[in-house]
Structure 1
Amino acid sequence: MPVSRTYHPFRRAAALLPAIAACVALAGCSSTASDTPPSAAGSASATHSGPESPGTESTGSTAPPRAGKTEPVSPASVSIPSVGVDSTVMRLGLNADGTVEVPPAEQGMTVGWYTGGAVPGQPGAAVLIGHNDTRFGRAVFHDLKKIREGADISVRDKAGKTVHFTVTGTETVDKKAFPTDKVYGSTDGSTLRLITCDGAFDADGHPVDNLIVYAALR
């Protein structure tokens, strides 16, 4: 099994909205998706080289922000008591090649928030990515497969405000058939998705599936 590998959980389609699929690594876990998700609040825009900061506007002018408009505060930590997760949250943007970053293997016990999605608690789908295992051993989402419907997920932001989500379901999918629209598409309210690797291993020792946890704001 290789000990150093570039992880590519997401791909953007050139000249289209991002075609995104998620995965985190067990010493080299990767996934792609060919579907193009619909435009949604908090989604990365194909007209930019990278995702905009959550809550900002791109108007093409130098006019000051409208009075009273405040930016959502980035998440600082996430807790899932039922599966033993209590982690700080790091920001994940885009790499130079258009792929989305994942937490580095040496920070396998840290959850990452994809800044091209919604801020947890704000309208849209917020996405948190965590490793199952890395070359350094078990990682933050190692026991995510044990989570059950109704479980509580709390996310605290950098201002100290905590929002709670309730797990509504889980899904294990083949990485080659990642449900991009379902995960990243528009939602009626504030939702949360947790993504890690799962399933059997391929010939290179990489998990072939993704585990997706769906949750809604309480």
Structure 2
Amino acid sequence: MSQKARTAQLWLLAIAALVGVWLVENGAGTELVPPQPTTAEAFAAGPGLRPDAPVADPLRPSAPVRVRIAAIGVDAPMTPLGLGPDGSLDVPPVDTPDVVGWYKGGTPPGARGTAILAGHVDSARGRSVFYRLGSLRKGSTVEVDRADGSTAVFSLDAIEVYENERFPDDRVYGASEHASLRLITCGGGYSKETGYQGNVVAYAHLTDVRHAPSLTPSTDRRRA
């Protein structure tokens, strides 16, 4: 990923509806604090795949259409994110905070390499799609439905939180020989003046693939 794209990605995460937090904290009187990862869910000895998890062969590239994370109640449509004329990354629609974006200039989820998914943590209406991302645990499952009819099933290897100034570019965006996935949202401390001070990043790899059943005369009820 280029420097401009990386900077734009961080900008996407930093703009996660600061007004939404302010409204909840000061309007409704209820503090909105997203869950943060514990040290137990971080990598024990540097980035890598969980040794107890299977590794599935990468799939051919195909665009993702929906993502599901049962452990945190996510079942969301996906939208591709491109780069604008100034080199900045487009963001998921502001009026649809429960949509997850994926960087279409990079690796599609399930293909060989590192796929990047990004979602808002909150909005002016309250909690958004990745609000509970920081509460995931190692071994949690992420399912991505793809345009080719397959479902790529990922297992979480670790989840960490980083300060903006210490964001580990290579660890997060670096190349992978496997089908790897990164899920990113805002996290860390929060300041009303500057917003979230960091990012939550979940690391996962492909462990299984489900294919849609082929339609045959014996299974097509319309031919009965």
Given the two structures, how large is their TM-score scaled by the length of structure 2? 0.68
**Which position in structure 1 is the counterpart of 2:217?**
none
State the Cα distance separating 1:100 from its structure 2 match: 1.1
Q: Gapped runs of 5+ residues in structure 2?
A: 20-59, 208-224
Q: Which amino acid aligns with 2:102?
A: W
Q: Identity of aligned pairs, percent?
A: 36
* Offset at residue 128 of structure 1 (A): 0.4
Match of 1:171 in 2: 160
| Per-residue deviation, residues 52-76 of structure 1 (Å, max 9, x unmatched) | xxxxxxxxxxxxxxxxxxx722000
What one-letter code is carried by the residue in structure 2 that aligns with 1:99? Answer: S
Q: Deviations over 1:79-131 (max 9, x none)?
A: 00001000011000112211111212211100001112211111100000000
1:123 corresponds to 2:108:
no
Secondary structure in 2 matching 1:187: coil
Task: Check the 8 A contact 1:105/1:136 in 2, yes or no.
Answer: no
Q: What are the superposed Cα offsets for residues 186-208 of structure 1, whole Å, 9 maximum, x if unpaired? A: 11211000000012212415111
Structure 2 counterparts to residues 41-190 of structure 1, below 5 A: 72-190=61-179
Distance 1:24 1:83, change over 3 A: farther
Whether contact under 8 Å (1:11, 1:98) holds in the other structure is no
Measured in 1, the distance between the counterparts of 2:145 and 2:206 equals 13
Q: Which runs of 5+ in 1 are unaligned?
A: 1-9, 30-70
1:208 corresponds to which residue? 197
Amino acid in structure 2 at the alignment position of 1:164:
V
1:96–1:160 Cα change, 3 Å? same
| 1:67 paired residue number | none
Residues 152 and 24 of structure 1, relative CA distance in 2, 3 Å threshold: farther
- Contact preservation (8 Å) 1:103, 1:110: yes
Cα distance in 2 for partners of 1:152, 1:128 equals 15
> Does the aligned pair in 2 maintain the 1:24–1:131 contact within 8 Å?
no
What is the RMSD computed on CA atoms of the aligned residues?
Answer: 2.2
Q: Is the 8 A contact 1:24 1:130 kept in 2?
A: no
Partner of 2:95, secondary structure, is helix
> What letter is aligned with 2:95?
E
Q: 1:182: Cα distance to partner?
A: 1.0
Whether contact under 8 Å (1:121, 1:163) holds in the other structure is: yes
1:162-196 Cα offsets, whole Å, 9 max, x none, are: 01000000110011221111111111211000000
Counterpart of 1:27? 17
Given the alignment, which residue of 182, 201, 223 partners 1:193? 182
The secondary structure found in structure 2 opposite 1:106 is: coil
- Whichever of the two has the greater Rg, that structure is 2
In structure 2, distance between residues paired with 1:116 and 1:177:
24
| CA distance, structure 2, for counterparts of residue 27 and residue 19 of structure 1 | 20
1:19 CA drift (Å): 4.2
